[in-house]
Amino acid sequence: MMLKYRHILFLVCIVSFFAACKKDEVVETYDPEPQFRADTTAIRAFIKTNNIPALKDSYGIFYQILEPGTGSVTYTTATKITADYEGKLLNGTVFDSSKGTPISFTLGGVIPGWQIGIQKIQKGGKIRLIIPSYYAYGTRSPSSLMPANSILDFNITLTDVTN
């Protein structure tokens, strides 16, 4: 019986030894800068071709305030926003829409491009955000309608804001 436990203990030690060995894996690091530059170039071409009077903020998000809205909300990640929106790719493919029925979110629960862009307007405001992939879903593809590294074009109406 004691011999059986020694064998099991020996086997556990061998397995642990091999499991603890460090593999010579090459870890590939992702540098978002080249993609960000490519996105910015594509957005500039898009707004020029379509005569969109968009501005570029310090983050690199392009926006057009269609209506500023009213109020003086100081936004936080906990701010609850209710918005009617449509999201498209630059080729015009609609990948998401509230379809005229505003949807509520916490600001901290949306993509970074929204977190930055929504703060440019107040309740009742309307904004167009053209968001580089870095501030959207990056290298992830959240649906079959949206390839990785997609630039997103949103039209958003902020119907309510509460802190």
Q: What does 51-99 look like in DSSP terms, one character per residue?
A: T---EE-TTS-EEEEEE--B------TT-EEEEEEEEEETTS-EEEE-T
Q: Tell me which DSSP letter residue 135 carries.
A: G
97-117 confidence digits (pLDDT tens): 999 999 999 999 999 999 999
pTM tops 0.85: no
pLDDT tens track for 26-51: 556 778 899 999 999 999 999 999 99
The single-letter DSSP state of residue 140 is -
- Residue showing tokens 């990640």: 77
Three-state DSSP at 153 gives strand
CB 132 within 8 A of CB 40: yes
pLDDT of residue 72: 94
Contacts 24+ apart (CB under 8 A), 40-47: 40/132, 42/90, 42/151, 43/90, 43/130, 43/132, 43/151, 46/90, 46/130, 46/151, 46/153, 47/130
Tell which wins on pLDDT, 28 or 67.
67
Is the pLDDT at 14 greater than 80? The verdict is no
Distance of alpha carbon 87 from alpha carbon 109, whole angstroms? 16
- Cβ–Cβ < 8 Å for 76, 163: yes
C-alpha distances in Å from residue 142, one per residue of 41, 69, 94, 147? 23, 31, 14, 8
